[in-house]
Structure 1
């Protein structure tokens, strides 16, 4: 990404950073910006509304981490501008998204020393407290040269564009108007980026059928995306397999169902966490609080696990086995072969409705 601004010098007497205006040749450029720990600047939960706070998060190739440095000294994400909350100049003031309005509070300078400086506050963008954990807040602070104030701009970083995703955000929102915020559309896109074959394999009909099948099963498991955790608390102590060599370090009652496909059992938390690069064995509740993981754990199962069958739900859809095979892979022992036709038919109803909304035919073999 081209350097838009150069901090030319510091005036020791005034304590001011002098910032040059970008040249006419320095057109707006888009990419990602990484800081301490190699984490990306990220819009919390992939949101784009006014007041969305900025944080750092594992780089995941989604538009929540795609930033544009404008030749007007703005720093933009998801159609909004980054600004300091309440136009504050105080150390520790948070940074948020807001409608671009040209105010000084939305101006940023990029130095040759890897600083990003708030023009209005004359302070450096930093990760709060020097932490590098996911979801560490971003704020401004007196420039000290510390590692948590250093940023690297990456030009033209490839991103997952939801316009290429088989379901649009508007369609998703219309299907799940009462969903909890953690089940965000951007979280779905971010989780899908972890499994590149998901909803990208085959022709557009196959792609749409797969996203419809996945969401239909998720809808059934989560009460239309209203529940992040298993409701029956009496079951909580039952999901610790003590025969596993790693045991249940978070507690024997901490591996109950969570997330989009209600991940349960300590061995599944470990396997899903290993796949996603997160220690879920020690931190299982991340599945109920982190949007990418709430979706990503379900997508881990969908793309890698076959349950009591010989085919994963992903392969079932892309190979033409039909929606019924996904039910069998997820809960076949309880719902297929006449065991519980009402539950099976509820999933089928979900699938048909979602397919209708996104405009795709159902295919064959809907039941199991």
Structure 2
């Protein structure tokens, strides 16, 4: 459970020329349409490719990611499809959909693979920095911690409802506009507290302070909050989990950054071992090794 924010990362969106894309001949199964562009306008019948699939717009749309909005109709895999489940996904993510499903066989349908890959654009350095081994280790580390936090991607929201009223820090100038019991844990890293929702929303360009419920309603938003914490917050540790993995500090430091004040230094060795066991299983699925410094 996330306790405090230690830094705030602002993101800047690049503005590009608007391109209107209308109906076009549907690309064949072996060919991908032009890649989806968030700044382009698509009218009904317009096609685009995203995450290895072709998509057709049902009506006018702009900046609505395929796979996360009803405006897009999935036309199936393109570019030859995922012929080898062990290969990286067409999006370039080091975890294929088959591997993701192997990691989370009992996951809640809310936690979609497409939601995760749609969220990757918010932090392009995630699982995309360093050698192939480091990329796979970081992906495994993130998903292992996520698995621990959510019971294998089963829980979308915090199960102990008695905690819900405790996550409003009224000393903040902006208060708790969504209600004093609205900022309970949600999503893959169980984002909690009004100040965390404010900081994550500011960084992602989403008003989560006034609408924290988006984290339990939109899979891409949920995944983005998890990636926000992973890539920008040190928590009770001394570095972000992302930096821990790409700079060789090891998996143990990711545990410290997420819940080290309660689990590390002998605080709860059983919980630490649970995270390590998941990590070892996931790097094996991804065909790599766990590296050093697994515990905290």
TM range (shorter): 0.7 to 0.9
Establish whether residue 214 from structure 1 lines up as the match of residue 142 from structure 2: yes
Match of 1:88 in 2: none
In 2, Cα distance between equivalents of 1:64 and 1:235: 30
Question: How far apart are the structure 1 equivalents of 2:271 and 2:282?
Answer: 17
Query: Which runs of structure 2 are paired with 1:186-335 in the superposition (5 Å)?
Result: 186-335=114-263
CA distance in 2, matches of 1:254, 1:226: 20
Q: 1:72-122 CA deviation, whole Å, 9 max, x = no partner?
A: xxx973339xxxxxxxxxxxxxxxxxxxxxxxxxxxxxxxxxxxxxxxxxx
* Distance change in 2, residues 1:303/1:341 (3 Å): same
Distance 1:192 1:176 in 2: 19
Tell me the CA shift for residue 164 of structure 1.
1.6
> Which of 89, 101, 107 is residue 179 of structure 1 equivalent to?
107
Structure 2 gaps of 5+ residues are 1-18, 79-87
Alignment counterpart, residue 34 of structure 2, candidates 30, 49, 64: 30
Pairwise mapping of residues 72-111 of structure 1 onto structure 2 (< 5 A)? 77-79=75-77
Contact 1:219/1:350, CA 8 A, preserved across alignment: yes
The TM-score normalised by the length of structure 2 is: 0.76
Q: Secondary structure at the match of 1:254?
A: coil
Q: Which structure is larger by alpha-carbon Rg, 1 or 2? A: 1
Task: Deviation per CA, 1:25-76: give whole Å up to 9, x if none.
Answer: xx9842436259xxx9899xx998xxxx98957345x6779x99xxxxxx97
- Given that 2:41 and 2:62 are in contact with CA atoms closer than 8 Å, whether structure 1 keeps it comes out as no
| Alpha-carbon separation, structure 1, partners of 2:52 and 2:198 | 29
3-state secondary structure, aligned to 1:77 = strand
| 8 Å Cα contact 1:256-1:264 kept in structure 2 | yes
Preserved CA contact (<8 Å) 1:64 1:78: no
Structure 2 CA distance for partners of 1:337 and 1:292, relative to 1, 3 Å: same
Could you tell me which residue of structure 1 aligns to residue 10 of structure 2?
none
Alignment CA distance shift 1:47-1:242 (3 Å): farther
Give, in angstroms, the shift of residue 285 of structure 1: 0.9
* CA displacement at 1:358 relative to structure 2: 0.7
Distance 1:55 1:266, change over 3 A: farther
Counterpart Cα distance in 2 of 1:174 and 1:55: 36
User: Runs of 5+ in structure 1 lacking a partner?
Assistant: 7-20, 69-74, 81-159
Q: Evaluate the alpha carbon distance shift between residue 241 and residue 2 of structure 1 in structure 2; reply closer, same or farther with a 3 A threshold.
A: closer
- The answer to which structure has the higher strand fraction is 1
Distance in 2 (alpha carbons) for counterparts of 1:42 and 1:271? 33
* Structure 1 partner of 2:6: none
Distance 1:54 1:226, change over 3 A: farther
Aligned-pair CA distance for 1:277: 1.1
> Are 1:209 and 1:362, in contact at CA under 8 Å, matched by a contact in 2?
yes
Aligned match of 1:58: 63
CA distance in 2, matches of 1:166, 1:5: 33
Q: Residue 210 of structure 1 aligns to a residue in which SS? A: helix
1:165-218 C-alpha deviation (Å, 9 max, x unpaired): 111000001111211122111111111210011010001000000000000000
TM-score of the two chains, using structure 1 as the length reference: 0.62
When residues 277 and 187 of structure 1 are mapped into structure 2, their CA distance, relative to the original with a 3 A threshold, is same
CA distance in 2, matches of 1:359, 1:238: 42
Root-mean-square deviation (CA, aligned residues, Å) is 3.5
Whole-angstrom CA distance in 1 between matches of 2:290 and 2:22 = 50
Q: Which residue does 1:343 correspond to in 2?
A: 271
The alignment partner of 1:30 has SS state of coil
User: d(CA) in 2 for partners of 1:180 and 1:5?
Assistant: 35
Aligned length: 254
Q: From 74, 84, 95, give the equivalent of 1:167.
A: 95
